[in-house]
């Protein structure tokens, strides 16, 4: 049995546009509007989000990214939102030498500054005119991706857009986040993140570490509930 090559080519030539159109429709139906947010006080928090965007955009997803650090380069398909008030606040607040202080055995971040940053940065972000315009611009999102560092403020966006969310780990998760995830964080070997301690602590250091963790968790509960 012989097959006419012209008829064969013609048959599949007519089907190719249909297949192509079908694939295009499937791609549109499976693409999502994604909002990414980091409240991190250092620029390093942006790097995992950039890489995530590079993987999502070629797959047809629309990605919007809120942070305190203006874009250094253009990433096609990524819309970056950097509210001026938040940019100014973070630039003036987080003048930290985290690595240098840690190497000198000093506290990398003053504990009270760490607590103060969380609620002040949130207040600045939500009070900014650009943020308000964005919140009431009738955007719809299918997923929010939040930074595990200072995520409480970003959870307000989850409520506003009524969308599911996930965390990504841009730093070592805080002990509170680890505990909520069901992982044990005994204060005898898990140092408080703002203290210059290691997992090898003496009795005095363990006592100090326990008191700081209890105080931080208590303050966190009060701040979130109010």
Mean confidence (pLDDT) of the chain: 81
Least confident of 8-12, 105-109, 142-146: 8-12
Condensed to tens digits (0 to 9), the pLDDT of residues 150-169 reads 888 898 999 999 999 998 87
Q: Which of the four CATH numbers 3.30.530.20, 3.40.50.620, 3.40.50.300, 3.40.50.2000 does domain 32-107+114-172 have?
A: 3.40.50.2000
Mean pLDDT of all residues in 51-66: 94
- Higher-confidence residue of 121 and 94: namely 121
User: Which pLDDT score is estimated for 164?
Assistant: 94
User: Which pLDDT score is estimated for 108?
Assistant: 65
What are the domain boundaries of the chain?
32-107+114-172, 178-226
User: Which pLDDT score is estimated for 25?
Assistant: 45
Q: Is the pLDDT of residue 5 over 80?
A: no
User: Which pLDDT score is estimated for 118?
Assistant: 82
Mean pLDDT of all residues in 22-45: 75
Name the most confidently modeled range: 89-103, 151-165, 209-223. Answer: 151-165
DSSP per residue over the chain, as a string?
----HHHHHHHHHHHHHHHHHHHHHHHHHH--EEEEE---SSGGGHHHHHHHHHHHGGGT-EEEEE-SS--SS--TTEEEE--HHHHHHHHHH----HHHHHHTTS-SS-HHHHHHHHHHHHHHHHHSHHHHHHHTS----SEEEEESSS-HHHHHHHHHHT--EEEE-SSPPPHHHHHHTT----TTTS--TTSS--S---HHHHHHHHHHHHHHHHHHHHHHH-
| pTM as predicted | 0.73
Least confident of 59-73, 77-91, 168-182: 168-182
User: Which pLDDT score is estimated for 183?
Assistant: 75
Predicted confidence band at 149 (pLDDT cuts at 50, 70, 90)? confident
């Amino acid at each position: 049995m012989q097959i006419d090559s012209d008829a064969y080519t013609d048959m599949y030539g007519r089907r190719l546009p249909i297949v192509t159109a079908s694939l295009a429709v499937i791609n549109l139906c499976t693409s999502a509007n994604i909002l990414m947010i980091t409240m991190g006080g250092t620029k390093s928090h942006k790097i995992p989000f950039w890489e995530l965007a590079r993987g999502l955009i070629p797959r047809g997803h629309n990605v919007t990214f809120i942070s305190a650090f203006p874009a250094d380069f253009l990433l096609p398909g990524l819309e970056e939102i950097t509210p001026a008030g938040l940019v100014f606040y973070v630039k003036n607040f987080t003048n930290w030498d985290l690595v240098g202080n840690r190497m000198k055995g000093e506290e990398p971040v003053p504990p009270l500054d760490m607590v103060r940053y969380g609620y002040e940065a949130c207040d600045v972000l939500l009070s900014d005119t650009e943020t308000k315009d964005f919140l009431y611009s009738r955007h719809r999102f299918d997923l929010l991706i939040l930074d595990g560092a200072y995520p409480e403020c970003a959870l307000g966006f989850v409520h506003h857009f009524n969308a599911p969310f996930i965390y990504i780990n841009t730093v070592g998760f805080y002990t509170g986040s680890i505990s909520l995830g069901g992982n044990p964080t005994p204060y005898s070997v898990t140092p408080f993140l703002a203290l210059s301690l290691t997992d090898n602590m003496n009795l005095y250091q363990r006592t100090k570490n326990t008191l700081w963790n209890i105080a931080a968790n208590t303050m966190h509960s009060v701040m979130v509930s109010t």
